Structures are given as C-alpha cells and as structure tokens.
Amino acid sequence: MPMTRVHERLAPIIAAGEAASCALVDLEVLFSARNAREYERIRSRRELSYLHVPNSDAILNRAIEVQGKLAKRGQHRIPIPDLIIAAAAESAGLTVLHYDADFDLIAAVTSQPVEWLVPRGTV
C-alpha cells in the first residue's frame, strides 16, 4: 500500500490549504489524464486545492544559475522540470515535498528546504 502512505501524507496538507503547485507540475499531472473529462476534473480540483506559484523569467534564470552550480560539481544533468520546480518553490519560500533524489542534489547547492514525501525506496 505505498500509494496509501503518499495519500496519508498529502491529504492533510491539501485539506489545510497548504499545498502549492506551479504550471509545470500541473502539466505533468494533467498529462496522466485518460480523456478530456478526466483532464477537466483533475484541473478543476487542482485549481481549487492548491495555491498557485507563478513561473517567471526570474525563476527560469534561477534554474539556470542552479544548473551552473551543479555543473561545477558534475551534477548538472538533472531534469529541467526539476530545476524549474525547485526554483519556483524557492522563490515562494516553500518546501519541496518530493520522491526524487534530484531535489536533494538541488538543495545541496541552494540550501532550500526539501523533504521526501515518504521514505526513499518505499514507493
């Protein structure tokens, strides 16, 4: 029941109105919709349930800056969406809840707060 653990962790955060998203995350989530009806249902729920963090040129420039810092460590091949998501969260002062070790690598150069949604290797 690994996904149950994810739900148990996220549900209270979402219910409290403390979850945030940006357009890039929304696009990734909406990609999984199987049809137009499901797409609209997911989109509507996300609009009602998540705070919106805007993406901007400043966020994209920060992602490039972080990628450069990672390049100095030989770790710059992190997926571009992860860099942008982390930069958006950082600009909003938010903690990135994740299940992806790339966010730990990003945090090593930004010092921004990141946290595994559930323990690594459990999903």
The label of the residue with tokens 């409290």 reads 16
pLDDT value of residue 1: 57
Rounded Cα–Cα distance for residues 35 and 53 (Å): 26
Cα dihedral 5, 6, 12, 13, rounded to 10, equals 150
Q: Calculate mean pLDDT across residues 34-54.
A: 98
- State the pTM of this model: 0.93
Q: Calculate mean pLDDT across residues 12-39.
A: 97
In the predicted structure, residue 3 carries a pLDDT above the cut 80? no
Domains of the chain: 2-116 (3.40.50.1010)
Q: Calculate mean pLDDT across residues 34-52.
A: 98
pLDDT value of residue 11: 96
Q: Calculate mean pLDDT across residues 32-56.
A: 97
User: CA separation (Å) from 83 to 36, 42, 57, 64?
Assistant: 29, 24, 13, 8
Mean pLDDT of the chain: 96
Closest-CA residue to 98 (of 25, 30, 42)? 25
pLDDT, one tens digit per residue, over 63-76 is 999 999 999 999 99
Residue 10 confidence class, pLDDT cut points 50, 70, 90: very high
Rounded Cα–Cα distance for residues 77 and 61 (Å): 17
